[in-house]
Amino acid sequence: MIWNSATYPWPDGKRAAACFSVDVDAMAPYLWATRDGRPDTIATPEHRAYGMRRGLARMTDMMARLQLKGSFFVPAVVARDNPDLLPGLVERGHEIALHGDCHELVRDITDQQFTEALERSIDLFVRQVGQRPKGFRSPAWEMTPHMLAELRRLELWDSSLMGEDVPYTLNGITEIPVRWDIDDAIYFKFLGAGDKPPRSHLDIGAQWQSEAQSTLRHGGLFMMTVHDWISGRPARVDILEALWRPLVEDDAIWCATCGDIARHHQTLTDQPDHSLPRIPDDTTKGFSQ
Ligand SMILES: [Zn+2]
């Protein structure tokens, strides 16, 4: 075991990094959840349609004002239904990356189905923008050893796991770590009865500001994840702009896409390649919690 709290070597003398990532889920999770039969109700699809109608444009306008390039993870079904989406993002200088075919959840599919969905998605990206995507983010941020092996086979980096607060290598895969607590969905996703009421954007904005300051003070990566249909609302975009303006204006912070960060990490030759944690077979003895 190596105990090492040394600062991660960010490029060009930067002290920390920040990445603005958008999971353009749009209608995909609804299509996946209702794949065996759609209810005759329209509130949820209408709510989700807000992202492609309005939310994403408001968000990318905000990013243009800040000259901030982001990483957009797009399920293939969303790209298929909105053929201008991927070309439009590329034209604006953003990065596009994989996020499942129909936002299929790992627990619902076999290894073979995962592989087929991944290859189908790559083909669609190539058809629509003429370039092969280089990165992947798992729907709902769950992964399996098979998925890691497939990403390695297809030479993709990943951004779905939380085992570090700087880029790291896991089973040969470059991992750009995420954080649930810097994801808008856990605070604001509200689709009616059964969901917790959305939190105050003022409170969450202040919390994210504190997270950003601490992460950057410790030399880490501030990886933010937002969704087209959740954070595209006016006050939430304003909170994001207020949060990100000082980050992009700070010369000590490297504001970069996941792909930029992955490429940088792959140039470092002294970083350990972590293996998956060993889970003891018999966890019933000797553990009280
Ligand atoms: Zn998603």
pLDDT by residue (tens digit) across 89-144?
999 999 999 999 999 999 999 999 999 999 999 999 999 999 999 999 999 999 99
Instruction: Tell me the mean pLDDT in the region 4-21.
Output: 90
* Domain that includes residue 59, residue range: 14-274
User: Ligand 1 mean position to 135 CA, how many Å?
Assistant: 14
CATH, residue 174: 3.20.20.370
Residue with the bigger pLDDT between 14 and 287: it is: 14
User: Ligand 1 mean position to 42 CA, how many Å?
Assistant: 21
Q: Is 112 part of any domain?
A: yes
CA within 13 Å, CB half, 236: 23
Which pLDDT score, from 0 to 100, does residue 192 have? 87
Task: Give the phi and the psi of residue 259 in degrees, each rounded to 5.
Answer: -65, -40
Which pLDDT score, from 0 to 100, does residue 193 have? 79
User: Ligand 1 mean position to 14 CA, how many Å?
Assistant: 30
Which pLDDT score, from 0 to 100, does residue 194 have? 85
Q: Whose CA is closest to 126, among 104, 163, 154?
A: 154
Model confidence, pTM: 0.95
User: Ligand 1 mean position to 227 CA, how many Å?
Assistant: 8
User: Ligand 1 mean position to 5 CA, how many Å?
Assistant: 32
Which pLDDT score, from 0 to 100, does residue 287 have? 53
User: Ligand 1 mean position to 276 CA, how many Å?
Assistant: 24
What angle (nearest 5°) sits at the alpha carbon of residue 108, between those of residues 23 and 21?
A: 10
Q: Whose CA is closest to 256, among 15, 17, 62?
A: 17
How, if at all, do strands 253-255 and 16-23 pair?
Answer: parallel
Contacts of 233 (CB under 8 A, 6+ apart): 55
Confidence of residue 269 (pLDDT cuts 50, 70, 90): confident
Q: Is 197 part of any domain?
A: yes
Q: Is 283 part of any domain?
A: no
Retrieve residue 96's tokens.
């596009």
User: Ligand 1 mean position to 256 CA, how many Å?
Assistant: 20
**Mean pLDDT, all residues of the chain:** 94
Distance between CA atoms of residues 212 and 124, nearest Å = 35
User: Ligand 1 mean position to 283 CA, how many Å?
Assistant: 32
Q: DSSP code of 176?
A: -
Instruction: Tell me the mean pLDDT in the region 261-269.
Output: 96
Q: Is 142 part of any domain?
A: yes
User: Ligand 1 mean position to 217 CA, how many Å?
Assistant: 29
User: Ligand 1 mean position to 225 CA, how many Å?
Assistant: 10
Which pLDDT score, from 0 to 100, does residue 5 have? 58
Q: Whose CA is closest to 116, among 127, 102, 95?
A: 102
Which pLDDT score, from 0 to 100, does residue 286 have? 55
Neighbours of ion ligand 1 (CB under 5 A): 23, 25, 139
User: Ligand 1 mean position to 6 CA, how many Å?
Assistant: 33
Q: Is 216 part of any domain?
A: yes
Which pLDDT score, from 0 to 100, does residue 278 have? 81
Which pLDDT score, from 0 to 100, does residue 109 have? 96
User: Ligand 1 mean position to 107 CA, how many Å?
Assistant: 14
Q: Is 2 part of any domain?
A: no
Q: Which tens digit of pLDDT belongs to each residue from 138-164? A: 999 999 999 999 999 999 999 999 999
User: Ligand 1 mean position to 140 CA, how many Å?
Assistant: 6
Q: Is 179 part of any domain?
A: yes
Q: Which of 2-16, 72-86, 206-220 has the lowest mean pLDDT?
A: 2-16
H or E stretch at 22: strand 16-23
User: Ligand 1 mean position to 143 CA, how many Å?
Assistant: 13
How many structural domains comprise the chain? 1
Q: Is 66 part of any domain?
A: yes
User: Ligand 1 mean position to 139 CA, how many Å?
Assistant: 5
